[in-house]
């Protein structure tokens, strides 16, 4: 019998879900939806009678003080009867097979009440004063996502939660031999393999040499392993590049640009090289202190998040946490960062292409996903940003990153022949099948229906127990190697670990969420929260005991052999057998061509405006505005190590780099800085990338990082790089990474690319076209603070201090925030003068070491005045600043009227503002040596900004600029 329990707030005013639904409905213009009530519903199936269900409801499901409940058998009229006079009830429940964390937790805990083996599914119920069709339509717009939810109006028709029966072994052969190129192309598309015709030729030839066609499971394994997502085939391909500097042939783009710079930097460091493991493992590892190394990884989860923002972002974070956990012999995750690129929140809903989630709902969804996963994991989310551009409309970008700390020596790991293949953590279901290949295909308005299977819902608590288990097993030295199950599931995790040795895997032993999965499904499913470990037989019992103690399921599903072959079995029968060498080396290289043209400045056109008016307009722009409504939803203090938090000072101003102690109770710190100059992506890809890197480094150094210990990460997000005009800018960006790494002696230690960020749509007139994202590079700087007690924050500290600017300013208004306000269009591009930026960075670090810096802020989005305002907001005090004192260089062509605006809002990279305490001027000056700098103002007790320019003298209260800066956060929150 299938029971239902509905849990309802006693007090309608506390029914948040109802409040939000009504607010959302009104915003949508569904005026009739003036009221709603909701219930948390639970479906229970098992050996239960009414008293038992009532006992469960009272002790487990409902709160006796604030909630009531009603119990019935699914179908009972009482369950769907009108509530508070609201006639229509809408059920929103997870589709069969979609992970249901609440249902799983409830089911597991019922054993404690003496009811083992009860299956539970959670659902939400909404009572509304609408007719059924309107109610269903509204639910789909506001509270349900058809990629993962069923929406049912009126009585539920379900009578059992039981899944299908077990799969019986059958191996499907895929005919390639007699397919022509069109046939191969169709096959790739129909099976969502994302393999090119050339690649399918290689597969066909390989199997012809074996005298047979491939089994489905073999073809799928190859597709996963060869996917862009798993092996970066574009960036590692040979490229014929035709750029402003002429023609160049790269035999391996990434290797000859980004990797090459790391090799050169490490060679220059010689004996003092502090890199430990770069571009090899799941994350990049560098030296930290005498006993520890630290590692970092940043991933993207763009396509899943476009379809299901909450689940996409949550599993994106879950995946990168496992990357760090699965580095070497495991690292403890100590910090998360998240960066989102979305379309402007005020994009009119009616202008949205079909299949596109409104930016506001999308951003709320990805924020909630990171919040619910990161907070449950107990990892502080301490860094990040949000960038806005119409180009991200159909294809938002979701970057999630994690920093970990590991004992020295734990970075090295190696599988030994004879080791058991052990899968630990969550069970395997159909969720996330084809995620790896799906992420390599462009999105379209059909993606939601076509690729819903690629969407996964995370279960953070399983990842938390998995983490506790892995760290304890590592402490006891119970395994030889480990990797996480991410894209491609077991097929790429086991495939990767067995790349040289080979393995025999018994897929029928993989623990399943529900019966019915085929061998192939179990092999390629991207079900979350799983790790694969290589465990020596003699350690198996101990490992199993640790797993049991932490409540984690660990199962031996095979052995690493040494045969060089990947053998897949089901109940003893061979389901597939692949040659590891072919699997990992057999992919044909394609030669790509790319083109990029010289970039020229556009003449600036000015529309004069008052300095303080412009300042308030700039501070209110979404890229610059406070992200407090997001930051406060993240636990940024758990683990107790946060030293420089995202919001600082009595006034809660913004941080540059954020700082945490690497180890609780020790004084050495980790700094995270991020740089994202997306507004330059379409204007000048080289300087977009260079500027992003300089911004990330500047953020870290402003916060107190040692400029000689900065590791870099690159995350490229690009459009369809099959087009030479799209690949060209990517080549330019790779060159920028190479040049910056060498200029700053800051090695890249890891990175990731996400290509094909394109949204294909058919407009009303029936013509189809593609929306491509702006070329985007997220640069992450992982720095180190020798002693966190000397960390520096941007908020102003004391009246009487002096304010200095470091670095040269130019009228760099192209792609600036000021341009978005309409006060200027075009102008000089903010090009990076690497030696000058490096000198400024080192001068600032020297001044900090000399104790002559009380506050430090790098100048980026919004330019000088925005940075000054942010420092004043944080400190809750004022500044009198003289723009005419700023070291500034401009062509004679710059009109005098524009001079103040150019100085105040230009975005030249490599500039800092420093608060110099009384009496430290000489020490500060000494640290500057030949870097251009000047004292430009005084810190004042009254919270007012006094601005003196050539043309005008202007003033505004800090309260007013703070209001402008916080407007978006207030309204979005």
Tell me whether residue 459 is one of the annotated catalytic residues: no
Q: How far apart are CA 451 and CA 438, in angstroms?
A: 7
Q: How far apart are CA 18 and CA 267, in angstroms?
A: 62
- Write down the least CB distance from residue 351 to other proteins, Å: 29
- Write down the least CB distance from residue 145 to other proteins, Å: 19
Q: Which of 91, 115, 206, 229 is flagged as catalytic?
A: 229
Q: Which of 241, 301, 480, 857 is flagged as catalytic?
A: 301
Site for other proteins contains 942 (CB under 8 A) = no
Of 1, 12, 60, 742, the one binding other proteins (CB under 8 A) is 60
- Write down the least CB distance from residue 655 to other proteins, Å: 10
Q: Could you give the string, one character per residue 832-871, with x where binding to other proteins holds by CB under 8 A and - elsewhere?
A: ----------------------xx----------------
Rg (CA), the chain: 29
Which residues 6+ apart lie within 8 Å of 767 measured at CB? none
Of 20, 496, 601, 720, the one binding other proteins (CB under 8 A) is 20
Site for other proteins contains 160 (CB under 8 A) = no
Q: Measured between alpha carbons, how far is residue 607 from residues 211, 898, 934, 970 in Å?
A: 73, 8, 28, 30
Cβ-based nearer residue to other proteins, 490 or 856: 856
Of 149, 204, 376, 709, the one binding other proteins (CB under 8 A) is 376
The residue range among 277-285, 457-465, 584-592, 802-810 that interacts with other proteins, by the rule CB under 8 A, is 457-465
- Write down the least CB distance from residue 495 to other proteins, Å: 31
CA 751-188-768 angle, to 5 degrees, is 80
Cβ-based nearer residue to other proteins, 374 or 909: 374
Site for other proteins contains 61 (CB under 8 A) = yes
Tell me whether residue 857 is one of the annotated catalytic residues: no
Q: Which helix (H) or strand (E) holds 95?
A: none
Of 241, 587, 645, 738, the one binding other proteins (CB under 8 A) is 645
Q: How far apart are CA 970 and CA 626, in angstroms?
A: 9
Class of residue 138 by CB neighbours under 10 A (exposed 0-12, middle 13-18, buried 19+): buried
Cβ-based nearer residue to other proteins, 363 or 854: 854
Dihedral angle computed from the Cα positions of residues 921, 927, 932 and 934, in that order, rounded to the nearest 10 degrees: -10
The residue range among 132-140, 549-557, 745-753, 832-840 that interacts with other proteins, by the rule CB under 8 A, is 549-557
Site size toward other proteins, by CB under 8 A: 67
Residues within window 108-147 making contact with other proteins, judged by CB under 8 A:
108-109, 112-113, 122
Residue owning tokens 């001044």: 847
Cβ-based nearer residue to other proteins, 18 or 740: 18
The token pair that represents 100 in the structure block: 């249901």
Q: How far apart are CA 884 and CA 864, in angstroms?
A: 13
Question: Torsions phi, psi of 967, nearest 5?
Answer: -55, -55
Site for other proteins contains 459 (CB under 8 A) = yes
Alpha helices in 191-326, H assignment, sequence order: 197-209, 216-225, 228-231, 253-254, 260-269, 302-307, 309-325
Cβ-based nearer residue to other proteins, 429 or 932: 429
Task: Please give the full DSSP string across 438-482, using - where no structure is assigned.
Answer: HTTS-EETTHHHHHGGG-----HHHHHHHHHHHHHHHHTT--SEE
Cβ-based nearer residue to other proteins, 701 or 948: 701
Q: How far apart are CA 718 and CA 732, in angstroms?
A: 12
Cβ-based nearer residue to other proteins, 7 or 712: 7
- Write down the least CB distance from residue 126 to other proteins, Å: 15
Helix and strand tally (H, E) in the chain?
A: 31, 42
Site for other proteins contains 464 (CB under 8 A) = yes
Residues within window 783-822 making contact with other proteins, judged by CB under 8 A:
788-789, 791-793, 795, 797-798
Which residues 6+ apart lie within 8 Å of 404 measured at CB? 283, 294, 295, 296, 324, 325, 327, 331, 332, 333, 334
The residue range among 153-161, 238-246, 254-262, 455-463 that interacts with other proteins, by the rule CB under 8 A, is 455-463
**Bridging pattern class, strands 2-9 and 88-94:** unpaired
The residue range among 103-111, 168-176, 436-444, 523-531 that interacts with other proteins, by the rule CB under 8 A, is 103-111
Of 38, 428, 644, 809, the one binding other proteins (CB under 8 A) is 644
Cβ-based nearer residue to other proteins, 235 or 867: 867
Q: How far apart are CA 239 and CA 722, in angstroms?
A: 11
Nearest to 809 by CA among 868, 762, 760: 868
Site for other proteins contains 59 (CB under 8 A) = yes
Site for other proteins contains 255 (CB under 8 A) = no
Q: How far apart are CA 439 and CA 301, in angstroms?
A: 8
Site for other proteins contains 642 (CB under 8 A) = yes
Residues within window 338-367 making contact with other proteins, judged by CB under 8 A:
none
Of 306, 393, 535, 647, the one binding other proteins (CB under 8 A) is 647
- 642-669 b/e (C-beta count within 10 Å ≥ 16 → b): bbbbbbbbebbbbbbbbbbbbbeeeebb
The token pair that represents 929 in the structure block: 């040596």
Site for other proteins contains 16 (CB under 8 A) = yes
Q: Which residues bind other proteins (CB under 8 A)?
A: 14, 16, 19-20, 59-61, 63-66, 101-102, 104-106, 108-109, 112-113, 122, 371, 375-378, 459-461, 464-465, 468, 549-551, 631-645, 647-650, 652, 664-665, 788-789, 791-793, 795, 797-798, 854-855
Residues identified as active-site: 229, 301
């Amino acid at each position: 019998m299938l029971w239902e329990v509905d849990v309802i707030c006693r007090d309608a005013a506390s029914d948040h879900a109802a409040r939000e639904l009504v607010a959302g409905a009104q915003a949508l213009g569904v005026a009739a939806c003036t009221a709603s009530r909701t219930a948390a519903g639970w479906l229970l199936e098992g050996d239960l009678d009414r008293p038992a269900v009532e006992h469960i409801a009272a002790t487990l499901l409902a709160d006796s003080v604030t909630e009531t409940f009603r119990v019935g058998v699914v179908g009972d009229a009482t369950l769907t009867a009108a509530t508070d006079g609201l006639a229509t009830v809408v059920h929103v429940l997870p589709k069969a097979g979609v992970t249901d964390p609440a249902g799983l937790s409830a089911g597991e805990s019922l054993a404690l009440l003496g009811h083992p083996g009860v299956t539970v599914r959670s659902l939400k119920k909404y009572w509304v004063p609408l007719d059924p069709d309107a109610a269903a339509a509204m639910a789909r717009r506001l509270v349900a996502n058809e990629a993962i939810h069923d929406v049912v109006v009126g009585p539920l028709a379900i009578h059992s939660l039981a899944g299908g029966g077990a799969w019986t072994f059958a191996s499907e052969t895929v005919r390639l031999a007699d397919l022509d190129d069109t046939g191969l192309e169709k096959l790739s598309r129909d099976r969502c393999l994302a393999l090119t015709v050339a690649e399918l030729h290689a597969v066909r030839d390989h199997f012809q040499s074996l005298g047979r066609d491939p089994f489905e499971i073999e073809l799928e394994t190859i597709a996963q392993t060869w996917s862009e997502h798993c092996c970066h085939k574009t960036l590692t391909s040979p490229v014929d590049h035709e750029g402003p500097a002429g023609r160049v042939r790269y035999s391996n783009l990434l290797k000859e640009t980004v990797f090459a710079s790391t090799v050169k930097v490490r060679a220059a460091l010689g004996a003092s090289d502090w890199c430990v493991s770069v571009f090899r493992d799941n994350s990049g590892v560098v030296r930290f202190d005498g006993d520890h190394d630290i590692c970092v990884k940043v991933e993207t989860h763009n396509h899943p998040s476009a379809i299901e923002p909450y689940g996409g972002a949550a599993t994106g974070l879950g995946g990168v946490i496992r990357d760090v956990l699965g580095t070497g012999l495991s690292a403890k995750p100590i910090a998360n960062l998240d960066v989102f690129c979305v379309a402007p929140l005020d994009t009119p809903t009616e202008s949205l292409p079909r299949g596109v989630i409104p930016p506001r709902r999308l951003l709320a969804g990805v924020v909630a996903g990171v919040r619910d996963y990161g907070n449950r994991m107990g990892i502080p989310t301490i860094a990040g940003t949000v960038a806005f551009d119409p180009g991200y409309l159909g294809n938002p970008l979701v970057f999630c990153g994690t920093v970990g700390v590991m004992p020295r020596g734990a970075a090295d790991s190696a599988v030994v022949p004879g080791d058991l293949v052990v899968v630990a953590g969550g069970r395997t279901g159909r969720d996330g099948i084809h995620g790896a290949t799906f992420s390599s295909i462009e999105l379209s308005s059909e993606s939601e229906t076509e690729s819903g299977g690629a969407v996964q819902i995370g279960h953070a608590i399983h990842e938390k127990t998995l983490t506790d288990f892995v760290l304890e097993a590592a402490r006891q030295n119970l395994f030889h190697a480990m990797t996480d199950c991410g894209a491609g599931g077991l097929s790429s995790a086991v495939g990767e670990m067995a790349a040289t040795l080979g393995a025999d895997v018994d897929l029928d032993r993989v623990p399943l969420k529900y019966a019915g999965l085929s061998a192939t499904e179990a092999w390629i499913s991207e079900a979350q929260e799983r790790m694969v470990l290589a465990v020596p037989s003699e350690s198996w019992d101990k490992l199993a005991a640790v797993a049991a103690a932490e409540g984690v399921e660990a199962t031996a599903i095979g052995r690493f052999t040494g045969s060089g072959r990947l053998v897949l079995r089901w109940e003893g029968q061979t389901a597939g057998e692949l040659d590891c060498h072919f699997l990992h080396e057999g992919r044909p290289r394609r030669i790509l061509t790319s083109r990029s043209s010289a970039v020229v400045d556009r003449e600036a056109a000015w529309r004069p405006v008052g300095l303080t008016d412009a300042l308030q307009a700039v501070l209110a722009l979404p890229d610059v505005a406070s992200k407090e409504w997001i930051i406060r939803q993240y636990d940024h203090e758990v683990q107790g190590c946060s030293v420089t938090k995202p919001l600082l000072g009595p006034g809660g101003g913004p941080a540059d780099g954020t700082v945490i102690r690497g180890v609780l109770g020790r004084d050495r710190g980790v700094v995270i800085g991020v740089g994202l100059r997306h507004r330059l992506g379409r204007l000048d890809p080289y300087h977009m990338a260079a500027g992003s890197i300089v911004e990330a480094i500047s953020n870290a150094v402003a916060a107190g990082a040692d400029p000689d210990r900065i590791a870099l990460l690159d995350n490229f997000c690009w459009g369809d790089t099959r087009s030479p005009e799209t690949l060209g800018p990517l080549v330019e960006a790779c060159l920028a990474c190479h040049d910056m790494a060498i200029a700053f002696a800051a090695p890249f230690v890891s990175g990731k690319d996400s290509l094909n960020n394109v949204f294909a749509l058919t407009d009303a007139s029936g013509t189809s076209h593609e929306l491509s994202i702006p070329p985007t590079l997220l640069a992450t700087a992982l720095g180190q603070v020798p002693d966190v007690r000397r960390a520096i924050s941007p908020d102003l500290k004391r009246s009487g201090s002096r304010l200095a600017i470091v670095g040269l300013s130019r009228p760099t208004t192209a792609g600036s925030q000021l341009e978005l306000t309409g006060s200027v269009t075009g102008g000089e591009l903010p090009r990076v003068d690497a030696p000058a930026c490096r000198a400024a960075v080192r001068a600032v670090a020297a001044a900090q070491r000399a104790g002559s810096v009380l506050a430090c802020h790098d100048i980026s989005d919004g330019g000088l005045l925005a940075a000054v305002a942010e420092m004043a907001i944080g400190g809750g005090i004022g500044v009198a600043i003289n723009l005419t004192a700023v070291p500034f260089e401009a062509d004679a062509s710059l009109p005098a009227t524009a001079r103040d605006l150019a100085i105040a809002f230009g975005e030249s990279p490599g500039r800092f503002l420093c608060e110099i305490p009384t009496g430290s001027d000489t020490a500060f000056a000494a640290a500057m040596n030949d870097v251009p700098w000047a004292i430009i103002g005084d810190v004042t007790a009254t919270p007012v900004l006094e601005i003196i320019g050539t043309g005008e003298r202007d003033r505004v209260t800090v309260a007013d600029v703070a209001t402008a800066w916080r407007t978006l956060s207030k309204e979005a929150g």
